[in-house]
Structure 1
Amino acid sequence: MEKFLFEESHIFSAEIAALLKHTMLIMPNWKWLALVAFIIIGVLIRPLIQFGLKEIKLHNPWTKKFPKSFTSYLFRGEIERPAAWVILGLIWFACGDSIELTGKFQTYYEHFLKAFIAIHVIRLIYYAVDALGSVFADIAAKTESTMDDQLVPFASKILKILVVVLGFLTVLQSFGLNVMSLLAGLGLGGLALALAAQDTAANLFGSVTILVDNPCKIGDWVKVKDVEGTVEEIGFRSTRIRTFYNSVITIPNGTMAKETIDNMGVRPARRIRQILGLTYETPIEKIEEFCDRVRYLIIQDEKVITDTVTVAFNNFNSSSLDVLVNFHLQVFTGPEELAHQQRIFLEIVKIAAELKVDFAYPTNTVYYRGAQG
C-alpha cells in the first residue's frame, strides 16, 4: 500500500513523500491524514445519505397503499437518522481496512466502530418494535376482547426494554469484554440487588396480575382507596388514573394488586338515589300528585329501568317531609349518567314549580314563653 502510493507515484516530491511516510506514534503520517479525511468526509456526506433515505421513505408506494402495515408504521419514525449512521459506520470500516491501520490502534478503531454501529442498529430495532406494537394494537382494536388492548402495550414495553438491555450487552461485547463473565461476577451482588429492587419486582408481578385477572381496563371508572377516576394507562410499573378534577394519579401496580378495586365502569346500570324534602305546610293531595308526576316523568325516560323506579313519601324529617326518589339508568359512562340525571332533576324542579310545592331547608322553631307577671 505504502509503495503504491508514494514510491511509484510522481504526485508528491521526495521530501513530501518522506514526510508522509514518517511514523508518528504508531502509524505513518499519511495514514493519519487519510483517516482524518475519511472521518471528515463521512460527517459531511451524512446529511446527503440521510436525505436520500428520507426521500425513499416518503415516496415509498407501499406505505401509501397499506397505511396500517408494519412498513408504514416503521417509516413514520425517524429511521433515516440511525440508518445513515449505520451506513457511514460501514463506510468507515471499509476505509480503515483500505489503509491497513496498524496494531492495537486497528483493534481499538474496530471496537469503537462496532459499538457505534451497534448503538444505531439498536435504535433501528427499537423503532421496529414500536412499529410492530402499533400493528398488533390495530389487530387488538378489532377484537371484542379488551384484554389484548392492554396486553399489547405491556408486551411492547417489555420488548423495548429487552432490546435496550441486549443492545447494551452487545456494545460491551464489541469492546472485547466477556459479557458472560461479567454477568457471573455481578451475580455475587445479586442478593443485594434483589433486595434493592423488591419494589420493582412487586410492581412487575402486580402488572402481570392486573393483566391476567383483569379487574379493570383502560377507560373504566374505578375507585382505589381514596382515588377515583378513569383508568388512562396500565403500564409496566404503574397504573395512571385520570381524576375528575383532571389530574393524573400514578398508583404502583404492586399497590393496585393488593388493594380493593371498585370498578364502577362494569355496572350494568347506574343507581340514582335522591331525597327530596318538602315543607311541612305541603298538603297531602299535593304530596301525592307530586310523587305521581315525578314517577311518571322518570318512567318515560328511555334510559331508565322502569321496574327499579321508586318515588314515595317515606320519612318525617326534623324540618321536612322526605320523598325518596330511586331508579337505575342504563348508561355506561360518567358524563352520560350526569347528563340524564340533570335532565330528570330539572324536570322535577319544573313539576314542583307548577304544583307550587316548596322544597324545605333546615330550620329551627323557637318557642318563647314570657315571664309570668
Structure 2
Amino acid sequence: MKELSSMEKFLFEESHWFNPEVVEVLKSTTFVMPNWKWAFLALAIAVGLLIRPVLHLILKSLKKHNPITKKYPNTFWAYFLRTETDRPMAWILVILLWFAAGDAAELTGKFATYYEHFMRGLIAIFIIRLVYYLVDAACSVMADYTSKTSSTFDDQLVPFASKALKILVVVMGFLIVLQSFGLNVMSLLAGLGLGGLALALAAQDTAANLFGSITILFDRPFQVGDWVKIKDMEGTVEEIGFRSTRVRTFYNSLITIPNAMMAKETVDNMGVRPARRVRQVLGLVYETAPETIEAFCDRVRYYIRSDEKVIADTVTVHFNNYNASSLDVLVNFHLKVYTGPEELEHQQRIFIEILKIAADMKVSFAYPTQTVYSQVTTVK
C-alpha cells in the first residue's frame, strides 16, 4: 500500500474537513497527479494573484516613506529606490509563495520538473529586471559625478557605458531565463555557431556602426552639443548612440546618421572654434563723399572694437572696392561666442548699430541700379 505524504495525512486523516465522497474525488488522479494537488496549486496561484497588488502597495508605500531618498537624494540606493522596483519585488515574493506551494504539495515526476523550471524562469525574469534597475541607478550616480568634472569625455562615456551594460544585462538575462526553463544554453549557442557566418554577413553594417561609435567616442571629433557639418547636413549633436548619431538641424528636424558614415566622412566641427568670423560688405552710393566714407569707417570700427565679445585685433573696416553700383566697405571681425544663437544675437546687435551710425551720418546704402540713355533722332 502506498504511503501517504505529510500533506495527504493532514488533509484526509488528521483533519475532518471533507466527507468520504469528497475525499475519494480529491484522491483520484487526473492528468498525472491527484485532484487535490491540482486544487491546492490552483488555490496557491489564486492567493498569489490576489495578494500581489497588496504587496505592491506595501512596497510602494515603504519606498515613498524611505528616509534615504529624502536625506541622500543623489546616492545609489536613492536612485535605485526611485525606480519601479516595487513591481518586480512583489512578483518575486508571490513566485516564492508558489515555490513553497509546489514543495508542500510534494509534486513528483515530469510535472514537478516542468513546474520548477517554469517558476525558476519567472523569478529569473524579475530578478533580471531588478539588476537592470541597479545598472540604471549606478549610471545615474556616475552621470552626477562626471557632470562635476571639467572633462567632457566622461560625459559622453557614461551614456555609452550605460547602454552597453543594459544590453549586456538583457542578453545575459535572456540566456539565464532559457537555462532556467531547462534549455541547454551551451548546446544552443554551439548550434547557432553553424549559422555564424550568415549572421556575420547580415550584421556587417551593424558591426561597422558599432566600431564607428567606438572611434567617435575615443577620437572625439565632436561631442554632444557641438555644431557640426557633415556633407550637406548641419546641426547640433544631440546624442551619440551605438548605431547612429542624432543631429538636430536648425530647422528643428532630427537627422539620424550612421556612425560608420560619421567615422569615415569629413566632419566640420563648428562648435570648437575659438572665435566665429563675421564678414559683411557694405555698399555705399557713389555720391558719398570721401571724407564721409572715412569717418563712417572710423566710427563703425570704433564701435565694433568696443564690444566685449569682439576680438579687437581682428576688426577690419575699410573701403576696399569700386563695385558696379556701389563703393564697397569691408567689415570683418571675430566674435568670442560658442553657440549659434549667441553668435546671431551679437551679430544682429552690431549690424543694427551700423544702421544707426549710417542714419546718423546720412550715409546711404546702394542697391543695384542701371542708367539707360536714349537718343531721339528727329527726321525732317
TM-score, normalised by the number of residues in structure 2: 0.96
Query: Match of 2:77?
Result: 71
Q: Cα deviations across residues 320-345 of structure 1 (Å, max 9, x unaligned)?
A: 11100000111111111111111110
For residue 60 of structure 1, the aligned residue among 52, 62, 66 is: 66
What one-letter code is carried by the residue in structure 2 that aligns with 1:292? D
What's the % identity of the aligned pairs? 71
For residue 200 of structure 1, the aligned residue among 203, 206, 216 is: 206
For residue 97 of structure 1, the aligned residue among 100, 103, 107 is: 103
Aligned residues: 373
Contact 1:310 1:327 in 2 (8 A): yes
1:1-373 matches, within 5 Å, as 1-371=7-377, 373=379
Q: Counterpart of 2:310 in 1: which secondary structure?
A: coil
Query: Match of 2:3?
Result: none
1:203, CA displacement in angstroms?
0.6
Contact 2:118 2:181 in 1 (8 A): yes
User: C-alpha separation between the residues in 2 aligned to 1:312 and 1:186?
Assistant: 73
Contact 2:11 2:17 in 1 (8 A): no
Q: Cα deviations across residues 102-143 of structure 1 (Å, max 9, x unaligned)?
A: 311111111111111111111111111111111001111111
User: C-alpha separation between the residues in 2 aligned to 1:9 and 1:355?
Assistant: 112
Quote the RMSD (CA, aligned, Å): 1.1
1:372, CA displacement in angstroms?
6.0
User: C-alpha separation between the residues in 2 aligned to 1:351 and 1:198?
Assistant: 62
User: C-alpha separation between the residues in 2 aligned to 1:124 and 1:7?
Assistant: 44
Gaps of 5+ in 1: none
User: C-alpha separation between the residues in 1 aligned to 2:338 and 2:31?
Assistant: 76
User: C-alpha separation between the residues in 1 aligned to 2:32 and 2:26?
Assistant: 13
Q: Cα deviations across residues 35-94 of structure 1 (Å, max 9, x unaligned)?
A: 101001100000111111111211111121111111111111111001111111111001
Contact 2:310 2:335 in 1 (8 A): yes
Q: Counterpart of 2:234 in 1: which secondary structure?
A: strand
Gaps of 5+ in 2: 1-6
Contact 1:26 1:102 in 2 (8 A): no
What one-letter code is carried by the residue in structure 2 that aligns with 1:2? E
User: C-alpha separation between the residues in 2 aligned to 1:138 and 1:19?
Assistant: 64
TM-score, normalised by the number of residues in structure 1: 0.98
Hey, which bits of structure 1, 4+ residues long, moved more than 4 A?
none
